[in-house]
Amino acid sequence: MNITIKRLTAAVVGLGMAGGLAACGSSGDDGASSGGSKTVTLVSHDSWAASKSVVAAFEKESGYQVKVLKDGDAGTAVNKAILTKDNPQGDVLFGVDNTLLSRALDNGLFQPYEPKDSERIAPQYRADEGKHRVTPVDTGDICVNYDKAWFSEHKLTPPETFEDLTEPQYKNLLVTENAATSSPGLGFLLGTAAKYGDDGWPDYWKKLKANGVKVVDGWEQAYNEEFSGSAGGRKAKGDRPLVVSYASSPPAEVVFADPRPGTAPTGVAGGTCFRQVEYAGLLSNAKNPEGGKALLDFLISKRFQEDMPLNMFVYPVREDAEVPEEFTRFGPQAKDPQTLEPAKIAGHRDQWVKSWTSLVLK
């Protein structure tokens, strides 16, 4: 979601590229000349992951070899794509979320393509209707997570809502990410803007600041170093039992624990969630547009959508995709998350971030 969707899968076990995909750090080899080959290049943020068998099946059926260029966090990937749009690094860009979508569209990053089975995508996740420059791929909720053991030991009820976080019993307990450099940090800011409105969110953040909220650059530092409830946090002896993360972080804690616990060690404050959607699109001037179209078809195929949750710890957007039991048991989606229309985000994001920076960091 640094602006990235840096999920727990990478933090807990270092899971990055699945074995069937060739990851690379630059586009100076066959990825850059994919138009004359059977290679299709996917540009993504660092949290991309997929099962080797699922990718291998696509490669066999399509005849294209998938090459992945990981370009840092989501914001970095989008900015690089804008700078190189006349001679793009790849064919498809994955990982543009609803907080950054307008920036990508306004800069002409994508050419239109409507993938096969697009009608299977849940309507609430669709964007750019009628133009088809981007395709929804996954969704997740940015929410405050809490350390169950810490709250039990201190005989304190965990917070549930945004307003709870400003109460004195939660003073100096919350760590969040910088809204200017982090996707979950920005999502949390947008959640408060959606909740309290254009005029009300600054007053809310004044209360949070007075209540000792700690701000760090990115998700990895917040979750793995500052948060007391994560696998990384426990090793680093983090002392903050509240952290801005994802509703899917608890199932990740369970999946990667050895042995697996019967319950997740972390919980989610359901009244603090903001709905995030990630998109992919066929890059303008892609050197292998046909391969890119096949890859977009793959990203919303039932096979990939059902493989995705336990690799990237996000929810599928395809209505007929089944969600693994670990998600429904340990990380259900928020029942009533905060949302904002992309146009609203586009019109206010930069000013909100500027105001937030002045208010919270100075």
Q: Is the pLDDT of residue 16 over 50?
A: no
Print the domain residue range for 183. Answer: 141-274+334-360
- pLDDT reported for residue 332: 86
324/347 same-domain check: no
- pLDDT reported for residue 37: 64
266/301 same-domain check: no
- Confidence label for 236 from pLDDT (cuts 50, 70 and 90): low
DSSP string, 34-98: GGGSSEEEEEE-TT----HHHHHHHHHHH-PEEEEEE-SSHHHHHHHHHHTTTS-SSSEEEEEET
Q: Structure pTM? A: 0.82
301/242 same-domain check: no
Q: Give residue-wise pLDDT tens across range 48-107.
A: 999 999 999 999 999 999 999 998 777 778 889 999 999 999 999 999 989 889 889 999
128/195 same-domain check: no
For tokens 């940090």, name the residue.
Answer: 185
Query: Which CATH number does the domain housing residue 167 bear?
Result: 3.40.190.10
Q: Which region among 33-42, 110-119, 300-309 has the lowest average model confidence (pLDDT)?
A: 33-42
Q: Which region among 14-23, 117-126, 278-287, 314-323 has the lowest average model confidence (pLDDT)?
A: 14-23
Q: Give residue-wise pLDDT tens across range 167-214.
A: 999 999 999 999 988 888 999 999 999 999 999 999 999 999 999 999
Q: Per the domain annotation, does 270 fall within a domain?
A: yes
Cis geometry, peptide bond prior to residue 259 (ω within 30 degrees of 0)? yes
Q: Give residue-wise pLDDT tens across range 327-359.
A: 989 988 899 999 998 889 989 999 999 999 999
**Number of domains the chain is built from:** 2
Rounded to 10 degrees, the C-alpha dihedral 217/330/70/223 comes to 20
- pLDDT reported for residue 99: 85
Q: Per the domain annotation, does 23 fall within a domain?
A: yes
Report angle CA 132, 136, 142 to the nearest 5 degrees. Answer: 140
169/154 same-domain check: yes
Average pLDDT, the chain: 88
Q: Per the domain annotation, does 1 fall within a domain?
A: no
183/240 same-domain check: yes
280/352 same-domain check: no
Q: Per the domain annotation, does 226 fall within a domain?
A: yes
Q: What's the distance, CA 130 to chain centroid?
A: 25
- Within 240-285, residue ranges assigned H as helices are 249-255
236/286 same-domain check: no
Q: Per the domain annotation, does 3 fall within a domain?
A: no
Quote the percentage of the chain above a pLDDT of 70. 88
159/241 same-domain check: yes
326/338 same-domain check: no
204/340 same-domain check: yes
231/290 same-domain check: no
